Structure 1
Amino acid sequence: MIERVKDDGDEQALTTGIDEKSLKAAVWYTVAQIAQEEEIELGRSMSEPFVASLTELVYAQAEHLALELKAFAAHAGRCTIREEDVKLVCRKSTVLQELLEEEAQRCNTASSTLMAAGTKNAGIKPKKLSKPKPVRVGGLAGTSTSRNLID
């Protein structure tokens, strides 16, 4: 459920009905899952306090990203965050810019292929695209094979 929150006549935020506690729990679960995968790959164990600290770091970074995206959209006079807002936030990281460009090209290619197939086969429904697999960047515990997002 999305609802607009107003204070003194100004739009403040959009909420999705998910409270902060549930969101933090979901972030913790995801970070813990990735940590377990990295433990197996690296042959090292990660303490619970480390996972908790990493979760807080990820959550704080996500909050910061959300505020920046909201500010860029508001500066452009919009309430909707667009691709160009994400590109502006990531402008200082060449690795992130490259990943965004690759994903945008992949999405554009897939959608143009579907549109072309739709005009040729008007009676046939196009196949739904599978969700893209997440790309792990900036691994845990100093892995050298992962790509660092911060330049």
Structure 2
Amino acid sequence: MADPDPEEAAAQKEERLKSALWYSIGQFVDNQCQLKDRNATPQFIGALTELVWAQIESASRDLSTFARHAGRTQVNTADVLLLARRNEGLEALLRQFVDEHRAERRSAATETATRSNGNTAAGREEEGPAGGDEGEGEGEGGVVVGDE
């Protein structure tokens, strides 16, 4: 049997992803409707799914563009924060999350270094696990930018 056409395979993958998104949104909407004693039609769930899908496509294009503009092949936290810049509340929540995550990583790295060396970590707290991760997203895990 011949390999499937790459375009056809991509279309099938997109359909599977949309179906999974529709299912997840349907579960969430059903749960919220039960809590609030409301009903939602399948048409509403379908329209909401299409709206969310369009937002995902737009955000993924923007994130890829930001990463490429910065000369990177991976999306990182700096790109996500840039995407959220027009929504002050979301940006504040994301910055708080990133700051807390970085503090936890520094703390864990300091504890590991202290245990393995038997030394105190005094004076090394500013240095992250990879020699410092104070830059906007530098050293963070990322998503590889596709060729779209």
TM range, normalised to the smaller chain?
0.5 to 0.7
Quick one: which amino acid aligns to residue 68 of structure 2? A
Q: How does 1:1-151 map to 2 (within 5 A)?
A: 19-122=13-116
Quick one: which amino acid aligns to residue 82 of structure 1? N
Distance in 2 between residues matched to 1:52 and 1:67, nearest whole Å? 23
Query: Deviation of residue 36 (structure 1)?
Result: 1.7
Query: Deviation of residue 73 (structure 1)?
Result: 1.2
Distance in 1 between residues matched to 2:20 and 2:64, nearest whole Å? 22
Deviations 1:46-79 (A, max 9, x none): 1111001101100110000000111111112222
Distance in 1 between residues matched to 2:106 and 2:70, nearest whole Å? 28
Deviations 1:91-148 (A, max 9, x none): 100011011112102211221221122123239xxxxxxxxxxxxxxxxxxxxxxxxx
Task: Give the 4+ runs in structure 1 shifted more than 6 A.
Answer: none
Query: Deviation of residue 87 (structure 1)?
Result: 1.3
Q: CA RMSD in A?
A: 1.9
Counterpart position of 2:138: none
Quick one: which amino acid aligns to residue 51 of structure 2? L
Larger radius of gyration: 2
Instruction: Indicate the structure whose relative CO is greater, using CA pairs within 8 Å and at least 6 residues apart.
Output: 2
Q: Which runs of 5+ in 2 are unaligned?
A: 1-9, 118-148
Counterpart position of 2:135: none
Distance in 1 between residues matched to 2:60 and 2:89, nearest whole Å? 20
Q: Which runs of 5+ in 1 are unaligned?
A: 1-15, 124-151
Which structure: greater strand fraction? 1
- Could you state the TM-score of these two structures normalised by the residue count of structure 1? 0.65
Which structure: greater helix fraction? 2
Quick one: which amino acid aligns to residue 102 of structure 1? Q
Contact kept? 2:25, 2:49, Cα under 8 Å: yes
Query: Deviation of residue 26 (structure 1)?
Result: 1.5
Identity percentage over the alignment?
Answer: 29
Aligned-partner SS, 2:71: coil
Distance in 2 between residues matched to 1:42 and 1:102, nearest whole Å? 31
Distance in 2 between residues matched to 1:95 and 1:34, nearest whole Å? 23
